[in-house]
């Protein structure tokens, strides 16, 4: 009877390949809570998102917003459908990254994606 065995080097290569693939497709855990993200970037008339929306943002603001929106997308909503959350946070993240990249129309895209009421009405907890 022949026993099937996998050479250790092949097994190691398979584990590395699977891990590397997961790094690009698996969601990481957020390092900031939704509350922290809202406080740092979205709360108030003089918030980071408000300054950016008024056209007063600079490169550092855009990078911070891109980081905050990436973190937001890694969180799970307090309530509501996860697919809706993913759709909204992905759009916001893409709009923020467009600002960093300096793409034409990025500011208008950001203003559209930053729709607090649309998100809060379906995802904000009590």
Query: For the chain, what is the domain count?
Result: 1
pLDDT band at 21 (very low <50, low <70, confident <90, very high): very low
Question: What pLDDT, on a 0 to 100 scale, did the predictor assign at position 19?
Answer: 43
Q: Show the tokens assigned to 53.
A: 């929306």
41 falls within a domain: yes
Q: Among the listed ranges 8-12, 27-31, 57-61, which one has the minimum average pLDDT value?
A: 8-12
65 falls within a domain: yes
Q: Look up tokens 């097994």; give the residue.
A: 11
Asked whether the predicted pLDDT for residue 18 surpasses 60, the reply is no
Per-residue b or e along 5-20, where b marks 16 or more CB atoms closer than 10 Å to that residue's CB: eeeeeeeeeeeeeeee
Q: What are residue 42's phi and psi, to 5 degrees?
A: -130, -15
Question: What pLDDT, on a 0 to 100 scale, did the predictor assign at position 30?
Answer: 86
70 falls within a domain: yes
Cα separation, 105 vs 125, whole angstroms: 33
**Which domain covers residue 55, as residue numbers?**
30-123
Question: What pLDDT, on a 0 to 100 scale, did the predictor assign at position 28?
Answer: 73
Contact status, residue 101 vs residue 109, Cβ threshold 8 Å = no
Decide which of 17 and 117 is more confident. 117
4 falls within a domain: no
């Amino acid at each position: 009877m022949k026993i099937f065995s996998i050479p250790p080097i092949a097994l190691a290569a398979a584990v590395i390949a699977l891990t590397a693939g997961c790094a690009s497709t698996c969601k990481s855990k957020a390092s900031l809570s939704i509350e922290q993200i809202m406080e740092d970037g979205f709360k108030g008339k003089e918030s980071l998102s408000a300054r950016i929306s008024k056209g007063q943002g600079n490169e550092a603001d855009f990078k911070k917003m891109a980081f905050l929106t990436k973190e937001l997308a890694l969180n799970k909503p307090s309530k509501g459908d996860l697919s809706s959350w993913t759709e909204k946070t992905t759009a916001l993240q893409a709009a923020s990254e467009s600002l960093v990249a300096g793409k034409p129309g990025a500011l208008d895209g950001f203003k559209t994606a930053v729709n607090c009421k649309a998100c809060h009405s379906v995802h904000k907890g009590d």
